[in-house]
Amino acid sequence: MASSHGSSELFLDFVTEGFLHLEDKVLPAPVTWTRQVREVGRDRRTGGVHFSSVIVGPPSAIASDKAHRRPELVLRKGRPGPREAARVDVTLMGRLFSAGSAVRRRALAVLGVTLAAACAHGLFPFLRRGQDLLWGRSGDPPVLSVVEETRRLVDRAIYHTVKRDLRQRGVPSPSQLLSFSKRPEPTSRAVSRAAEIMEASVQALKTRVSGKLRRSWPPTDVLPEDVLNTVANVSGCLPYMLPPECPDTCLADKYRLITGACNNRDHPRWGASNTALARWLPPAYEDGISQPRGWNPHFLYSGFPLPPVREVTRQVIQVPNEAVTEDEQYSDLLAAWGQYIDHDIAFTPQSTSKAAFGGGADCQLTCENQNPCFPIQLPSNASGSASISCLPFYRSSAACGTGMQGAFFGNLSSANPRQQMNGLTSFLDASTVYGSSPALEKQLRNWTSAEGLLRVNTRHRDAGRAYLPFAQLTTCAPEPGPHGTTAAPCFLAGDSRASEVPALTALHTLWLREHNRLASALKALNAHWSAHTAYQEARKVVGALHQIITMRDYVPKVLGPEAFQKHVGPYEGYDPAVDPTVSNVFSTAAFRFGHATVHPLVRRLDADYQEPPGLPPLRLQDAFFRPWRLLKEGGLDPLVRGLLARPAKRQVPEQLMNEELTERLFVLGSSDGLDLASINLQRGRDHGLPGYNAWREFCGLPRLQTRADLHAAFANASIAGRIMDLYGHPDNIDVWLGGLAETFLPQARTGPLFACLIGRQMKALRDGDRFWWESSGVFTEAQRRALARHSLSRVLCDNTGLPRVPADAFRTGRFPRDFEACENIPGLNLDVWREPPPQGDACGLPDGVDNGDVVLCGETGRRMLVFSCRHGFQLQGREQVACAPHGLLRPPVCRDVNECEDATAPPCHPSARCRNTKGGFRCECTDPYVLAEDGTACVDSGRLPKASWVSIALGALLVGGLAGLTWTVVCRWAHAGRKASLCIADSGGRGTCQPGLGTRWDSNASQPAAATRGAGQDPACGSQILLCQ
């Protein structure tokens, strides 16, 4: 491009995008350029020449803009290419003419973007569901704000757990199945959440105060009582720490409460559900407060670190499936009954969150100890996968008011260390059938039945007999089919572990049928009974049968006759001074001896007690959480026959647990399984159980000090040597392992330590239970005699299709030699439960109570009406009323309880909306969020809302319109000043102006200048500005 004004041309180029500036000044409009141009530097990289120019114009119009100092005005020698010229055209010309409007343009742009975002926010409500909506804000005083912030952290961790579980739907992983089996019911979940909030809140308060003091909290300083009370109240723990209010009616002495509370009038929480496990010895936490044994791998015990639990499993406990020794005396049903009864009296819920409270690390992914994550570390050669260095493990939930909630911040070991919670009642009360909370009991009952029946499965029958109903929002192992797998729900029972293995499912199903059989028969005998009375009387009988079978038939076989006489002895009546609460060492260690008696195979037999071709033995890994096998593969009878006629695994010191439990626990697919032995050891350390020698001393047994002592106690030199090599000192041995390795007592299936611990617990469960079947006033003498003749064998006859059974169901028998015809097995004589109907209408018994029950009972010779309401309703009026000849003038009523108004323990997660329903509540979500499997939280479904396409179309239309309108306003406002001129002086002192831009001119200009060329003169480059020298 040639120029008539000089031999060379300098093209104005704009190197980087931004506002054009000269000497740190933004060009105003209008503006004139002088003829004076001077070089200020050269660009070594590009060869460009940098020039500056003097601006002439009103000083007020020249505004500084330091935020846009990056661009430079570059005059580059030579002919520009089309790309450079285009950049000049688009960037320089546009910005030069609008530079004076920069502030207005930015304001308009911000306004337009704000309007567009606001409209989009209104059209897409799901975009607003952020952390503030889920977690809220807090502006409370310091203590309250700490608790509220802690509550949000705990709830966020729980919420992320729920979201993860939803994302991982499909074939559940072993850790997911373990979490499901340990998932507490809603009441227990609320207690666990409150306890975690309280524990974390006190820790946060300690950290805050210590930070302000710039020193650690002194051990002698006391946390004020009002602060503790505030934390307990706001966290939701306080209601679970106060004594419950016990009913004072005639029914209170006739039927036990579903929660087990008020069994002992002086200590109403003894044995109740959702209370702390009993401690027979102080816990041995590493910090004296709550830190598990082995939390710090460098912590020394008697001069030695604790061995990794997985290493203990590999070297001492595990045995191949083919190497197991079968019990020549006892059937597989003995092992199954032990596990079933354990699930009747003990359930320690895991933490409600599977993510760390601080930082949110997923316990399935992290191998670091971050509460509640306490992973099981794997030795370098212990896993088949090089990428796996640990197995997930979650700490047990703490009981409310324990663990750093004591009086002293610095020394809590003597005040109130961490305790674990039992989610079930401690009593032998058939809570496996009826549950341990009013909410679960409500789900299990058939409220339309006049006979007080339990719910049954409406989709499947077993030759006319009932199955357990399905649980909602649960998924067990999928059922394989021709078109892939089909999701299969788990069974609903009084305990969440009913679908864990087929033997447990069989026993749960058996007692469901027995309750309904008894309730129907009792109602037929006593037509005047209400449905509630028939239900409670059948429940009372079923509970008594659980007690009889356990204490008469099961425990003596486990302990042996000598140990049973020593530790349990004969019944001498109810003793209110005995605490029946299940102990921590019993549930966490001693009663888990039964895991060593589990056979690796599930055997199913035909009517001739042979293995049919269509029902081959199943490995346990193929039976975990597969209830569909019971429904689709022969029903209950083949499974019961296998339990009766096949032996249990014998517990041998060198064959403690088979590979199905130590390598393939809860495996459903190709993933690696869990290790039950390591879980048991880790659970004992999590609970702070003292070592083996401490418990021997507790039971009056001599302490073991040397290898020779171990050899004598374990009766297996090889096992004793390996244990000593791992632990270094007998004091360090985990109590569960030490008890398993001991030599059996005569005619027993346990050694002396476990015989002591199990016997002591069973005696407490019997003597401390006001409703024990032999206790005075619980049953009549005739009823006690009838119950004493009953047996598990007869229960099998009454509820299966088996015509012959062994007289003792726990002893292995050979068919048909050792089997008795059911006609020869004594049954339960229900005639002794017959009651004469009330004479006339002297009591004025009402027809019924909406959403409640009314029961007629006698108290001190007077007939009383006792009213009660179902779960979710509250009684308004007197609970107990004396009979009146003419009826009640105003009977009490059951009013619906609005659970959604409970601010301390809200039933729904903050992410969901609570809607009150009759007798309950419902948690609802806004599309596209869906309700998680816990039924209380909302999680992202991973899709757009149902109305998303309409919303997107309308939103795009509106945003586009607003953007166009904003652009139009900006452009018009920006070009409103184009009446001004941009003139550049030439060499003759004359000025040339851009056409159509005005005529302002500085007449005093007299120095060399340049000229402008009109837009569009070069077709290849578009409009340009040429500064000609």
Give the whole-angstrom CA distance, residue 546 versus residue 514: 12
How do 657-658 and 318-319 pair as beta strands?
A: parallel
Contacts of 549 (CB under 8 A, 6+ apart): 337, 791, 792
| DSSP class of 550 | I
The percent of the chain in helix, strand and coil, each rounded to the nearest 5, is 40, 15, 45
What is the 3 state secondary structure string of 315-379? HHHEECHHHCCEEEEEEHHHHHHHHHHHHHHCCCCECCCCECCCCCCECCCCCCCECCECCEECC
Nearest residue to 388 via CA among 135, 577, 671:
671
| Cis before 928 (ω within 30) | yes
* Active site members: 343
**Other beta carbons less than 10 A from residue 897's beta carbon:** 17
What is the 3 state secondary structure string of 254-309? CCCCCCCCCCCCCCCCCCCCCEECECCCCCCCCCCCCCCCCCCCCCEECCEECCCH
Please report how many Cα atoms fall inside a 13 Å half-sphere around the Cα of residue 528, on the Cβ side. 14
- Residues 812, 527 contacting (CB under 8 angstroms): no
595 annotated binding-site participant:
yes
Spacing of C-alpha 962 from chain mean position? 46
Give the whole-angstrom CA distance, residue 447 versus residue 440: 13
* H helix count then E strand count, the chain: 30, 34
CA distances (Å), 319 to each of 659, 666, 679, in order?
6, 18, 17
Give the whole-angstrom CA distance, residue 113 versus residue 775: 79
Q: What is the CA radius of gyration of the chain?
A: 40
How do 300-301 and 476-481 pair as beta strands?
A: unpaired
Nearest residue to 11 via CA among 102, 84, 110, 71:
84
- Residues 19, 68 contacting (CB under 8 angstroms): yes
Give the whole-angstrom CA distance, residue 980 versus residue 992: 14
CA distances (Å), 156 to each of 111, 762, 901, 905, in order?
35, 41, 22, 16
Handedness of CA 435, 437, 443, 449 (dihedral sign): positive
Give the whole-angstrom CA distance, residue 744 versus residue 748: 6
How do 880-882 and 913-917 pair as beta strands?
A: unpaired
CA distances (Å), 890 to each of 215, 739, 884, 895, 914, in order?
66, 62, 12, 15, 33
Q: In a 10 Å sphere around its CB, with 0-12 CB exposed, 13-18 middle and 19+ buried, how is residue 459 labelled? A: exposed
For the record, the structure tokens of 156 come out as 């966020």
Helix (H) or strand (E) holding 853, with range, is strand 852-859
Contacts of 354 (CB under 8 A, 6+ apart): 161, 164, 179, 362, 363, 364, 372, 392, 394
Tell me the binding residues: 595
Tell me the binding residues for heme b: 595
